[in-house]
Amino acid sequence: MTDGATATPSTRPGGSRPGRPARAERENRGDRVAFRLTAEELERVQAEAERAGVSVSEYCRAAALGQRVRVRSAPDLSAALVSLNRVGVNLNQIARTVNRGQGVPLDLAEVLAEVRAAVERLAEWEG
């Protein structure tokens, strides 16, 4: 730019700004509601919000408006089950090899570690 003008880093050519488009005025959440909880209630709300994969504010907003908060489980649980199935297949192949009298495979410890890790991931969902 030879005329001495400089572009600001927050704008693009044509005047557009990077990032998310501005919300309409009616979509802005500027009003607040405050309420008190016991320590146990707060722990429960935080745990439920985390389990649902949303912020505490989003969880409380949905609960106050009578909306159902869906718990995220399908993708993460599905991945853990796929992983457990994969290592189970490996473990089954190792058992067949041993039962045929062909000795213990060298990767037995690795497969058992994978089984333990997969079971631990599934146990996290239960508790």
Residue 101 DSSP one-character state:
T
Please report whether residue 25 resides in a domain.
no
Domain boundary among 26, 50, 72: 72
Do 118 and 95 sit in the same domain of this protein? Answer: yes
> On the CB side of 20, how many CA atoms lie within 13 Å of its CA?
3
Please report whether residue 2 resides in a domain.
no
Please report whether residue 112 resides in a domain.
yes
Residue 54 DSSP one-character state:
S
CB atoms within 10 A of CB 114: 18
Domain range spanning residue 49? 36-72
Do 86 and 115 sit in the same domain of this protein? Answer: yes
Which of 19-23, 52-56, 80-84, 118-122 is least confident? 19-23
Please report whether residue 101 resides in a domain.
yes
Q: Structural domain tally of the chain?
A: 2
Q: At what angle do helices 39-52 and 56-64 cross, to 10 degrees?
A: 100
Do 60 and 81 sit in the same domain of this protein? Answer: no
pLDDT in tens, 50-100: 888 889 999 999 999 998 887 665 556 677 778 778 888 888 888 888 899
The three-state secondary structure class of 35 is coil
Please report whether residue 24 resides in a domain.
no
Do 55 and 90 sit in the same domain of this protein? Answer: no
Q: What was the pLDDT predicted at 39?
A: 95
Mean pLDDT, the chain, whole residue set: 78
Handedness of CA 27, 32, 35, 39 (dihedral sign): positive
- How far is it, in rounded angstroms, from Cα 114 to Cα 116? 5
Do 66 and 103 sit in the same domain of this protein? Answer: no
Please report whether residue 114 resides in a domain.
yes
Q: Which residue has the tokens 């572009």?
A: 7
